[in-house]
Homo-oligomer: A and B are copies of this chain.
Amino acid sequence: MDTLRDVFELNGFIGIETRAVEPGSSLLKKGETSKEIYLLSRLQEVGHESDTPVEQRLGLHFDLTVPLSRYVVEHSGQLAFPFKRWQIQKVWRGERPQEGRFREFVQADIDVVGEGTLPDHYEVELPLVMVQALERLREYGLPKATVHANNRKLSEGFYRGLGLTDIEGVLREIDKLDKIGADEVMRLLMETCGASRDQANACLELARITADNGASLVEQVNALCEIHHVDDDADAYALLKEGLDTLTMIVDEAHHLRPGAVIADLKIARGLDYYTGSVYETFLEGADSLGSVCSGGRYDNLASSGKRTYPGVGLSIGLSRLVSYLLHTAGAEASRISPACVLVAVWNEENRADSNEVAYRLRARGIAADVAPTAAKLGKQIKYADKLGIPYVWFPNEDPDDDGADEVKNIVTGEQKRADADTWTPDNEYASQAVRLPAAGE
C-alpha cells in the first residue's frame, strides 16, 4: 500500500478517503454486483430493518467508483478538473469466500475525471502509472505485468458493421472467452445474441487479434473488415475507426514510454461494466489462472449533475488478491515481524532506565528500537529478538567503572562490536522498517 501510494503521488494523484457506506439507491445502480452488497442496520432496529426501503438504507461500498462518483458531484465546486485521485480502501462484497476471493478486500484505484471533456492522453498515462506501480512490486516477487487494452468503440463498430445489434450481449459473451473457450462462446453468440455462424466467427476472429504496435493493429483490423465487408464509409466503421485511432495511440505512446507494458488485445471486453471507450485488463507473466489483477477503462459519464457530465478513465488493482498471490504462490515472506531494528537488553530492572536511554537516543535518529520486556537471562532476551525478527541486540555498558562502551550484536551474522547510540547505524540490509503480520481477516 505504501509503494502504490508513493507511485500514485509521484504522478500527481490526490489521495482521498471516503466513508465506508453509501445509500442503497447508489449501490443498486450498478448491475450484477448489487446482489452482493451488505446493508447496515442499528441494533435497536432489529426486527424492523425491512420497514425502510433498501434504497433508503445504508450499505457498505463494493467498489471505489460509486463513492468517487458521489464525491465528484458533491465537491465539484472545489475541485480543479481534470481531477486525478488515488484511493486505497477496503471494499465489501457478500460473496461466498474462496481462494483469492474475499468478502472484505482492499482495492487501489486511480481515476482522472474531467468536467464535460477529458483529453484522451490520460487513456495511455493511467495504465502506465499502474504498470509503474506493479513494476515496483516486483521486488516482492510479483511477475512482470502487461496491460491488455481494447476499445469498446472498435468492438461495437465492428459488430454493428457485421449487422449485429445486441452489442451488450456480444460483449458479455466475448468476456467469457478465457473461462469457457471459443466453442462455447460461439454457441452462446448464436443462441443468445442472434448471430449467424459467420457473424459469430468474425467476432471470435476480432477477439484473436493482438498487437504491440499501432501499424500491426491497424493492418489486422482493416484486413478483417475487408474479409467481413465492414465498409469504410459506413457509420459503423466510423465508430470502429474512432476506437482504433485511440487504441493505436495508446499502444504506440506506451511503446515509446515503456516498451512492452501495454499491448492491444481485442478479446478484452469488460462485459458487465459501463465503459464507453478504452478497456484494460492486466495479466502477470506465468499467472494466467489469477486472471486480471488490474482492470478499468474509460467511461463517458462517471456521474452527471444537471447539465454537467464527468467523463473519466480509471483502473483498479485488486490488492488483496495480489498480496494473496505474492504470499501463497510467488513465495514472498515477511522478513521480520517487528518494525524494531534494535532490541536493547536490560541487565536488571534497576538499570532499565539506562536501556530506555539508549532506545531514546536511537529513536531520536530514526532507528526503531524496542527494550527487552524483562531483565531475563540474556539468552531469553536474544530469543525474544529472534522471534520478532529484530536483527540487533544492544548491550548497554554493564559496569560504569570500566571504559564505558556499549556493544551491539547482529544476531543474524553473530558479529558483535562496540557502539555508541548517538552515532551507530545499522547495516542497510537490516535497517528496513516494518513488515506487517498477516491480516487478521483470514
Contact = CB atoms under 8 A, between A and B. Distances in A.
A405 interface: no
Nearest to A81: B373
B366 A440 contact: no
Interface in A62-119: 67, 70-71, 74-75, 80, 82, 84, 90, 92, 94, 104, 114, 119
A384 to B, nearest CB: 6
B440 A94 contact: no
Nearest to A85: B437
A272 interface: no
Interface in A16-66: 16-21, 34-44, 46-47, 49-50, 54, 59-60
Interface stretch (A239-247, A285-293, A352-360): A352-360
Interface string A350-385: 001100100110010011111101100000000010
Interface residues of A, number: 81
A238 interface: no
B49 A41 contact: yes
A121 B372 CA distance: 11
B43 A37 contact: yes
A434 interface: yes
A227 interface: no
A166 to B, nearest CB: 28
A34 B42 CA distance: 10
A188 interface: no
Nearest to A114: B373
A438 to B, nearest CB: 8
Contacts of A390: 12
A332 interface: no
A15 B337 CA distance: 9
Contacts of A16: 436-437, 439-440
Nearest to A7: B363
A381 B379 CA distance: 64
A18 B439 contact: yes
A441 B19 CA distance: 5
A179 interface: no
Given A20-B104, A38-B40, A46-B39, A12 B441 contact: no
Nearest to A112: B373
A12 B440 contact: no
Contact of A40 (B39, B82, B114, B338): B39
A65 B441 CA distance: 15
A340 interface: yes
Contact of A15 (B11, B349, B436): B436
A220 interface: no
Given A46-B54, A352-B121, A370 B84 contact: yes
Interface in A333-357: 337-340, 343, 349, 352-353, 356
Contact of A366 (B10, B12, B337, B340): B10
Given A11-B363, A16-B437, A337-B14, A42 B49 contact: no
Interface of A: 9-21, 34-44, 46-47, 49-50, 54, 59-60, 67, 70-71, 74-75, 80, 82, 84, 90, 92, 94, 104, 114, 119, 121, 125, 253, 256-257, 337-340, 343, 349, 352-353, 356, 359-360, 363, 366-371, 373-374, 384, 387-388, 390, 433-434, 436-437, 439-441
Q: Which 9 A-B pairs have the closest CB atoms?
A: A12-B370, A12-B340, A19-B441, A9-B339, A80-B387, A42-B94, A18-B440, A10-B363, A49-B49
